[in-house]
Amino acid sequence: MSTILNKKIKILSKKEVAPNIYLAKLKAPEISQEALPGQFIHIKCSKDNYPLLRRPISIHRIDKEKGEIYILFQIVGEGTKLLSQRAVGDDLDVIGPLGNGFNIYPESKKIMMIGGGIGVAPLLALCEESIRQDKEVRVLIGALKKELIVGEENFRILGAKIDVAADDGSYGYKGLVTDLLEEIITKEGWLPDQIFTCGPKPMLKKIVEISLHSHIDCQVSLEERMGCGIGACLGCVCKIKTKDKKEDKVKYEFKRVCIDGPVFEGSEVVWDD
């Protein structure tokens, strides 16, 4: 695990890239050196003590040379609304990098990444690292409508093949991104060695089902409300299946998304509880 730092980091730029979705570049020389794709930072969103709790925001991009990181976030409540109102030049009080990141297997040649809505946020850094490792990368982006699709051009610039699905048919494939995934596997015969995904839980559940049926390793990044972000408060637990080798049976335990995740093997997650 990376060294956890508590730092004041400066907002270098910020823009609204889609309705209520913001991209910000942050000067974070120490955090950028420690950060791994799939990790997040815990941000104090306002200048005072309201709201009391920090907000977990995925690290979108890591530039170790310049000592910068990017975050991509959506306004979903008071905390992220206040964060969107912070100005260029402001210092943010940040804890991070936190959590366990994605695990790219050395033997994997073909990588599939699937982001649903703001779930694309942790995948760009992963895409950069996968391409750096000379993997063939394909990215699927899903959203309710064209206006909410973000990040498409950034993935394309990196050299990944991009497919987009809009539920309402306003852009790209008409329908769910999970239906698009099934078509790519069954009709095109494009079978990745690994799938990495982040987004709404119903989408993640379906992707895991598809991956299990096709015998593809699948890692999911879970999005949960968090209190402390460092494993102390137990406010972000999820139910995980484990195998008891001695008794040869499945057992269940609760793991903390903040430090045991946010990335888990998809086959381990219990989705229906």
Confidence (pLDDT) at 59 = 97
Q: What is the pLDDT of residues 12-68, one digit of tens each?
A: 999 999 999 999 999 999 999 999 999 999 999 988 888 888 999 999 999 999 999
Contact status, residue 19 vs residue 118, Cβ threshold 8 Å = no
In this chain, the answer to whether the domains covering 5-98 and 110-221 adopt an identical fold is no
- Torsion-angle region of residue 199: left (phi > 0), alpha (psi -120 to 50) or beta? left
Domain covering 110-221 assigned CATH 1.10.10.10 in the classification: no
Q: What is the pLDDT of residues 133-149, one digit of tens each?
A: 999 999 999 999 999 99
Q: What is the mean pLDDT of the chain?
A: 93
User: Which DSSP state fits 268?
Assistant: G
| pTM listed for this prediction | 0.94
Q: Nearest-CA neighbor of 102 among 58, 42, 69?
A: 58
Provide the residue ranges of all domains of the chain, joining segments of one domain with +: 5-98, 110-221
Contact status, residue 236 vs residue 149, Cβ threshold 8 Å = no
Report the SS3 class of residue 203. helix
Name the H helices within 58-158: 78-84, 123-132, 152-158
CA 215 to chain centroid: 22
pLDDT in tens, the chain (273 residues): 577 888 999 999 999 999 999 999 999 999 999 999 999 999 999 888 888 889 999 999 999 999 999 999 999 999 999 999 999 999 999 999 999 999 999 999 999 999 999 999 999 999 999 999 999 999 999 999 999 999 999 999 999 999 999 999 999 999 999 999 999 999 999 999 999 999 999 999 999 999 999 999 999 999 877 777 777 777 788 999 887 766 677 888 888 888 898 999 999 999 886
Q: Largest Cα–Cα distance of the chain, in whole Å?
A: 58
- Strand runs labelled E in the chain: 5-18, 21-27, 40-44, 55-63, 68-74, 91-98, 110-116, 136-143, 161-166, 173-174, 194-198, 217-221, 237-244, 249-256, 263-265
What CATH number matches the domain at 5-98, 1.10.10.10, 2.40.30.10, 3.40.50.2000, 3.10.20.30? 2.40.30.10
Distance between CA atoms of residues 183 and 187, nearest Å:
5
Distance between CA atoms of residues 162 and 160, nearest Å:
6
Ramachandran angles phi, psi of 9, nearest 5°: -125, 145
